[in-house]
Structure 1
Amino acid sequence: MCGHDQPTRSVLAEHLCATARDRGLRSARPLREGDVGMDGTKAAEDWLSPLRQHGLIPRGALAVFVVGSAARGWHNPRSDFDVYVVTRTERVSSSGGTVPVPLEPPRLSTELFYTQSRRWDVTYWLDSQIDQIFAKVSWEAFETGRVTEDTLVLREELLLGRLGSCLPLLGEAWLARCRSRLAESAFHSFAVVRSLGAADDAVEDALGQLEAGDLESATISARLAFGHVINALLESHGEYGSHLPKWRPNRFKAVAPQAISFADYWRVETMEGYDPADPAPWIEGVLTLCQDLAMRVETS
Structure 2
Amino acid sequence: MQLDVGRILDTLRDRRLVPDTCQAAFLVGSAARGWGNKKSDLDIYLVSDDPWTEPEMVGVSVPLQPPVVQWHTFYADNRGRDLAYWLDTQVDQMLAKVSWGAFDQVTAASGDALAAREEIFLERVMTCMPLVGEDWVARRRAEIDASAFRSILVTRSLGKAELAVEDTVGQLEADDLTSAVLSARIALGHTVDALLEERGQFGSNIPKWRARRFLAAEPVTLTFAKYWELETMRDFNPDDPSKWINEVLTLCQDLSLKIEV
The TM-score normalised by the length of structure 2 is 0.96
Q: Distance in 1 between matches of 2:119 and 2:255?
A: 24
Give CA deviations for 1:25-45 in whole Å, capped at 9, x if unaligned.
xxxxxxxxxxxx768xxx431
Deviation, 1:151, is 2.0
SS in 2 for 1:276: coil
Counterpart of 2:80 (choices 119, 137, 156) is 119
Match of 2:38 in 1: 77
Match of 2:200 in 1: 238
Counterpart of 2:215 (choices 253, 264, 277) is 253
Q: 2:167 matched to 1:211?
A: no
Q: Distance in 2 between matches of 1:248 and 1:92?
A: 35
- The amino acid of 2:33's aligned partner reads R
Correspondences of 1:43-58 after superposition (within 5 Å): 43-58=4-19
Could you tell me whether the CA contact under 8 Å between 1:104 and 1:129 is conserved in 2? yes
Could you tell me whether the CA contact under 8 Å between 1:237 and 1:255 is conserved in 2? yes
- Alignment: residue pair count: 260
Q: Distance in 2 between matches of 1:170 and 1:204?
A: 47
Correspondences of 1:1-80 after superposition (within 5 Å): 43-80=4-41
Structure 1's consecutive aligned runs of 4 or more residues displaced over 2 angstroms after TM superposition are 143-148
Correspondences of 1:49-198 after superposition (within 5 Å): 49-143=10-104, 147=108, 148-198=110-160
Deviation, 1:144, is 8.1
| 5+ residue gaps, structure 1 | 1-36
| 5+ residue gaps, structure 2 | none
Q: Distance in 1 between matches of 2:40 and 2:143?
A: 30
Share of identical aligned residues, percent? 48
Could you tell me whether the CA contact under 8 Å between 1:38 and 1:71 is conserved in 2? no
Deviation, 1:145, is 5.6
Q: Distance in 2 between matches of 1:73 and 1:144?
A: 34
Flag the structure with more relative contact order, 1 or 2, with Cα contacts below 8 A and sequence separation at least 6.
Answer: 1
Q: Distance in 2 between matches of 1:52 and 1:244?
A: 30
Alignment RMSD, CA only? Answer: 1.5
Could you tell me whether the CA contact under 8 Å between 1:268 and 1:286 is conserved in 2? yes
Give CA deviations for 1:107-141 in whole Å, capped at 9, x if unaligned.
00111100122110000000000111111111111
Match of 1:228 in 2: 190
Deviation, 1:143, is 4.5
Change (3 A) 1:289 1:208: same
